[in-house]
Structure 1
Amino acid sequence: MTKSDANRILRRLPLAVGGLGAVLLLINRLLTPELTQSQARGDVLGVILSAVLILTGLIWQQVQPRSPESVELMGEEGFVLAADLPQAVKTELAWASHLLLTNTVTRSLVVVYQGKVLLRRGILATKSEVVPGPILKRVLETQKPIYLVALYVYPGRVEFDYLPENTQGVICQPIGNQGALILGANTPRSYTKQDENWIAGIGDKLAVTLKDI
């Protein structure tokens, strides 16, 4: 069971228990030929408890934040490195991409440097060429990362056609002033501030590694 499923069950539990209690009280009342005072008091208490549970469930439905829903990205698992890279650079890129894929919500990533795709890893789209659009150009010009928390709401998402079609969130992390690390997640609003800081650190490390290629 996923964390999202567990949260959904917890939010609905008071509603289910309260509703079940109310139904059982009604059945008990209908099947009782003669109502005693003690039973009447018990029924009143049961009705109050059921009402409180139902009200609590309704409040939880409105107040508790729902975890973003994850999706299965469309594409094939792959790991593609540019063939003409030095072995040390290949090792560094493999290490960095492995860390990101195993320790964050990243499911697809691309490294672009000096206009060339150096690495594609994770769930890969059919298209491999990266044509910088306005968002990626801004990252390269300002050397500041951009985090698109829910990609589907941004008109500019069409420029990320080299990521799986149903990618939910994207981080464009600059690699110096020559390239970028593009990460795709399968869940919207899923990268934490700690994730962003860590990705920035990896981007800085890659900038040092790639500056001499």
Structure 2
Amino acid sequence: MTQSDQNQVLRMLPIIAGGLGGTLLMINRFFTPNLLASQARSDVVGVILSAFLILTGLLWQQIQPSSPDSVKLIGESRFELLPELSEIVKTELAWASSLLLTNTITKTIIIWYEGKVLLRRGILPSESQVQPGAILKRVLEKQKPIYLVDLKVYPGRIEFNYLPENTQGVICQPLGNNGVMILGANAPRSYTKQDENWIAGIADKLTNTLIINNFNKSDFRN
């Protein structure tokens, strides 16, 4: 049973308990020919408690909505780095991608910079070439991230053929003027505002590393 299923069961428990309690009270009343005053008072208390449980369960459904359904992404687990990168840059990219994969809903990471795919990590299809489409070009032009909360409803999803075909959500985070970090999730509407802020912070650190790399050629292997 997944965490989402367990949460759903817990949210339903007060409704189930309240409904069962009310049903048993009705059955007991039906089979009691001579109702005593004390029993009547007990029944009233029981009805109130059952109603309270049902109301609590309904409120939980509103306050704690179900988590978005996740899917198993179509692809294979991969970890690929551009060979000519220096060990310093490889270590930085590996560190950043590991943090994102283990601390957010992210299942796929692609870092595209100056026309090259520097890193592919997570669940990925065989297609490895990134051809910037309208969405990536807008991210680079506006220098603002774009979060596609439910990828399947966006016509522009066809440009993300380098992500698993059933990717549910995508964040495109700019890396300065020359690159984009593309994150894929296996559930729609799954990134929180805190996640987005954290992703932006990691992107800024990576951008700084890549800018230094761009002007310091010794950071590349010859």
> Do both share a fold (TM > 0.5)?
yes
The separation in 1 between residues aligned to 2:208 and 2:97, in whole angstroms, is 16
**In structure 2, what is the Cα distance between the partners aligned to 1:109 and 1:63?**
32
CA separation in 2, counterparts of 1:200 and 1:108?
Answer: 16
Match of 1:118 in 2: 118
How far apart, CA to CA, are the structure 2 residues paired with 1:125 and 1:50? 52
1:161 aligns with 2:146: no
Q: Following superposition of structure 1 onto structure 2, how do residues 1-213 of structure 1 map, counting pairs within 5 Å? A: 2-62=2-62, 64-211=64-211, 212=214
Instruction: Using the TM superposition, give the Cα deviation of residue 33 of structure 1 relative to its aligned residue in structure 2, in angstroms.
Output: 4.4
How many residues are paired up?
213
Q: Could you tell me the percent identity over the aligned residues?
A: 69
- Could you tell me which amino acid in structure 1 is paired with residue 83 of structure 2? A
Q: C-alpha separation between the residues in 2 aligned to 1:207 and 1:44?
A: 67
Q: Which runs of 5+ in 2 are unaligned?
A: 215-219
Work out the CA distance in 1 between the residues paired with 2:142 and 2:37: 77
- SS of the equivalent of 1:107 reads strand
The Cα offsets for residues 29-80 of structure 1, whole Å up to 9 and x where unpaired, read as: 2333432222122223322322333244334434543322222222111101
Structure-1 separation of matches of 2:97 and 2:57: 43
Partner of 1:119, secondary structure, is: strand
* CA deviation string 1:105-138 (max 9, x = no partner): 2110001111111110011123111111110011
Q: Which runs of 5 or more structure 1 residues have no equivalent in the other structure?
A: none
- What residue identity is the alignment partner of 2:103? N
State the SS of the aligned residue for 2:78.
strand
Please say which of residues 116-125 and 3-12 is displaced more in the overlay: 3-12
The whole-number CA distance in structure 2 between the counterparts of 1:144 and 1:105 is 21
After TM superposition, the structure 1 stretch with the greater mean CA deviation from structure 2, 137-146 or 106-115, is: 137-146
Residues 166-202 of structure 1, C-alpha deviation per residue, up to 9 Å, x if partnerless? 2222111111211111011122222233322222222
Q: Distance in 1 between matches of 2:52 and 2:66?
A: 22
3-state DSSP class of the match of 1:120? strand
- Residue equivalent to 2:217: none
1:153 Cα deviation after fit: 2.4
Pairwise CA distance, 1:98? 1.2
Q: Structure 1 residues 90 and 56, CA, compared in 2 at 3 Å: closer, same or farther?
A: closer
Measured on the aligned residues, the alpha-carbon RMSD in Å equals 2.1
